[in-house]
Amino acid sequence: MFPWLTALIAWPLVGAAVVGLGALGRSRTGSANAGTGLARPVALGFSLVEVALLVGAFLAFDTSAAAEHQLAETHAWIPQIGTSYAVAVDGVGLLLVALSVVLVPLVLLAAWNEQGRDEVRLRRFVGIVLLLQAFMVAVFSARDVFLFYVLFEAMLIPAYFLIGGFGHGAGRRQAAVKFLMFSLGGGLIMLAAVIALYFLAVGAGVDPSKAFLVDELVGVNLGTVAERLMFAGFFIAFAIKAPMVPVHSWLPDVAGNATPGTSTLLICVLDKVGTFGMLTLCLPLFPEASRWAAPFVIALAVISVLYGAVMAIMQTDLLRLVGWTSVSHFGFIILGIFTFTPLGTAGSSFMMLNHGLATGALFLVAGFLVARHPERSQRITDYRGLRSVTPVLAGTFLVAGLATLSLPGLATFVSEIMVLVGAFGGSPAGSAAWTVAAIPGVVLAAVYVLLTYQKIFTGAPAKGLEALPDLRARERIVAAPLVAGLLVLGLVPGLALTYVDAPAQQSATTIAVDDPAADAAQMGSDK
């Protein structure tokens, strides 16, 4: 069978090498500003071929067995310590791989004019984006815990340079360092848990040559105290990445100082590694500890929902506002995961995809708006009345905003309702009460979206903004697939739910917690 996942990982690396070597060559000849302008189209070409490879992976994936990890490859990597290059995806992993692949060409198109005409700088920028894409695909495919950890940490390098080296805010370097310190701190805690997991698994009888493979570790008896400690090590790292209150503060700084394209990749894709790790590592590897921690995690998730929404309402910086919305939305995703119901878990899995589309659209369209301002201002109060000046931009912003507040008919509505209904029927103590407490977050989302739209787009145009250009063809090409995805998945959600329903059911089975709604339905059918 063709190695689809390896091809999806390797192809962006080839692209990064091609454009990166070009940058090195030009810097040595001193012709940085005499570039041929090939960096952008070459990188875009590589990213479009990646989309074609993704189509092949989808065609090779059997949706009738979406709970199984398919397209699998396993090769010895460091046999002395039992690590393997093991990659495979279930339905959830495949959708997140797809999100990683689809967003990159859109980000490259959106950032077409961002880095000036310095060819060396351009090549470095697009090379780092392609390198990050390879890491994103790999981390969502990894089925070896040590490989996952290495990728989890390796992603920090390109992300750090995209924030600090290519951002536009005055505080971009401080934001990059803060991001790095938070992520490294969580990663080191996770490393200790990974090492402990290996030794305990070997002690429990797992073959040392396979003691990092996820499939070999599921069901291993680790002991109550050890399991809870290792769960904490993994969970802290994932909570920082997610981001989750109270370890979230790096995200608004990144959103305010990175480019919109960088924020799109970091917040809409990379941060999903946190929730994906909770779902695919914490729950199956540490089921008892997950049940034990669930009430505390659910409480923090609801606090994230409400706190993120309130902070979004208070923002004066447009891009920071979008960043705060993600703190709120990740709270919903984590809530669904830790109520352990098939419906809630499927909703969270679906929401990971939908959040990437909706928030990606909002970041990129907000970036188009900021780029049009004479001073590139991010302050909401510096805009007014643009609905009559830039109607297509205003309409696109409104659709992205309505998706963010989960308007019925858009994909986010389906996933959010699934999370809330599934969480309300969850078994962890107090989950129903906490779910009710999270509902005001839906109302607050409408407040921050509609108030922002009113301030920027309604009324008479602000002085100096009367002649701003509307979305150009390139920008419409960027926005169109995201808006179309939100509409299609909102009207025909089964296209994605086919990939997440079976993994959600499998997750509920693994965690050994029954779905009360399913039990009631079964009792009714028995009668």
Give the separation between CA 166 and CA 350, rounded to whole angstroms.
31
pLDDT tops 80 at residue 115: no
CA triplet 22, 23, 27: central angle to 5 degrees? 120
pLDDT at 288 over 80: yes
Token duo for residue 396: 């696109």
Question: Using an 8 Å Cβ cutoff, are 441 and 303 in contact?
Answer: no
Q: Which amino acid is at 494?
A: G
User: What share of the chain in percent tops pLDDT 90?
Assistant: 82
Q: How many CB atoms lie within 10 A of CB 481?
A: 16
Could you give the angle at the alpha carbon of 331 between the alpha carbons of 276 and 249, nearest 5°? 95
> What mean pLDDT do residues 380-405 have?
94
Beta bridge partners, 73, equal: 87
303: confidence class by pLDDT, cuts 50, 70, 90: very high
pLDDT in tens, 136-158: 999 999 999 999 999 999 999 99
Asked if 348 contacts 336 with a C-beta cutoff of 8 angstroms, the reply is: yes
Residues 187-195, mean pLDDT to the nearest whole number = 95
Q: What is the pLDDT of residue 167?
A: 86
Statement: residue 30 has pLDDT above 70: no
The secondary element (H helix, E strand) that includes residue 72 is strand 70-78
> CB within 8 A of 40, min separation 6: which ones?
108, 112, 122, 126
Show the 3-state SS of 80-131: HHCEEEEEEECHHHHHHHHHHHHHHHHHHHHCCCCCCCCHHHHHHHHHHHHH
d(CA 312, CA 3): 43
CA distance linking residue 520 with residue 512, whole number of Å: 17
Q: Given CA atoms 82, 284, 157, 43 in this order, what sign does their dihedral have?
A: positive
Q: What is the pLDDT, as a whole number, of residue 118? A: 72
Pick from 386, 388, 368: which is nearest to 378 by CA? Answer: 368
The per-residue pLDDT for 119 is 76
The gap from C-alpha 158 to its chain's centroid, in whole angstroms, comes to 16
Amino acid at 119: E
User: Rounded distance, CA 317 to CA 154, Å?
Assistant: 30
* Residues 476-516 pLDDT 10s: 999 999 999 999 999 999 999 999 999 999 998 888 643 44
Mean pLDDT of the 111-124 span: 80
Report the pLDDT value the prediction gives residue 182, as an integer from 0 to 100. Answer: 94
Tokens 């989750």 found at = 244
Structure tokens at 319: 């891009």
**Could you read off the pLDDT of 433-478 as tens digits, one per residue?**
888 999 999 999 999 999 999 999 999 998 889 889 999 999 999 9
Q: Does 171 have pLDDT greater than 90?
A: no
State the average pLDDT for the chain. 90
- pLDDT > 50? residue 525: no
If we measure between CA atoms, which residue out of 516, 497, 520 comes closest to residue 508?
A: 516
Q: What is the pLDDT of residue 85?
A: 96
For residue 54, the number of C-alpha atoms closer than 13 Å in the C-beta half-sphere is: 23
pLDDT above 70 coverage of the chain, percent? 94
Reply yes or no on whether the pLDDT at 302 is more than 70. Answer: yes
Q: What are phi and psi of 87, to 5 degrees?
A: -130, 145
pLDDT higher than threshold 50 for residue 76: yes
Distance CA 404, CA 413 (A): 9
Beta-carbon contacts of residue 284 (< 8 Å; ≥ 6 apart): 214, 218, 507, 510, 511
pLDDT at 36 over 60: no
Q: In whole angstroms, what is the distance from residue 140 CA to residue 349 CA? A: 13
Alpha-carbon gap, residue 97 to 110, rounded angstroms = 20
pLDDT tens-place string over residues 8-22: 999 999 999 998 776
Q: State yes or no: pLDDT of 363 exceeds 50.
A: yes
* pLDDT over 70 (residue 524): no
